[in-house]
């Protein structure tokens, strides 16, 4: 199974900050990497797919980059509704696997 390692596990940031979350995979997955946002009590919500493509309706302050084994999710200017946990997930093969999550909270 492909392992996904996210860093950092958690971070504290202020409104307006630029935030970057990393996801490293145990083998190359080309660009088959997705990012999700999950708020307490809710299901994950798709933000970015194919490493860089923004899902419809997602604000452009979210962006994704990377290919191969190294990927990043960036929030250019943190807004109140962005405080949540973020997960990466690959779709290179089965089983699909997820990172362990990065919790973003208020400094």
Partner 1 sequence: QVQIQQSGPELVKPSQTLSLACDISGDIVSDISSAWTWIRQSPSRGLEWLGRTFYRSKWHHEYAASVEGRLIIDSDTSKNRVSLQMTSVTLEDTAIYYCARERPGRGLSWYFDLWGRGTLVTVSS
Count other C-beta atoms under 10 Å from residue 57's C-beta.
Answer: 8
Instruction: Find where tokens 């419809």 sit.
Output: 56
**Per CB under 8 A, which of residues 16..55 are in contact with partner 1?**
30-32, 34, 36, 42-46, 49-51, 53, 55
The smaller minimum CB distance to partner 1, of residues 25 and 34, is found at: 34
How many residues can be counted in the chain?
Answer: 107
CA distance 102 to 9: 5
**Per CB under 8 A, which of residues 87..106 are in contact with partner 1?**
87, 89, 91-92, 94-98, 100-101
Q: Are strands 33-38 and 45-49 parallel, antiparallel or unpaired?
A: antiparallel
Q: Provide the binding-site residues for partner 1, judged by CB under 8 A.
A: 1, 30-32, 34, 36, 42-46, 49-51, 53, 55, 87, 89, 91-92, 94-98, 100-101
């Amino acid at each position: 199974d492909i392992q996904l390692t996210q860093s950092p596990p958690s971070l504290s940031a202020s409104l307006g900050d630029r935030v970057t979350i990393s996801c490293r995979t145990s083998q190359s997955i080309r660009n088959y990497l997705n990012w999700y946002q999950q708020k307490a009590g809710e299901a994950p919500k798709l933000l970015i797919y194919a490493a860089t493509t923004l899902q419809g309706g997602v604000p452009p302050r979210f962006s994704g980059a990377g290919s191969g084994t190294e990927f990043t999710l960036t929030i250019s200017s943190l807004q109140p509704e962005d405080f949540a946990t973020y997960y990466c997930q690959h779709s290179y093969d089965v089983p699909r696997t997820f990172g362990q999550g990065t919790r973003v909270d208020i400094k």
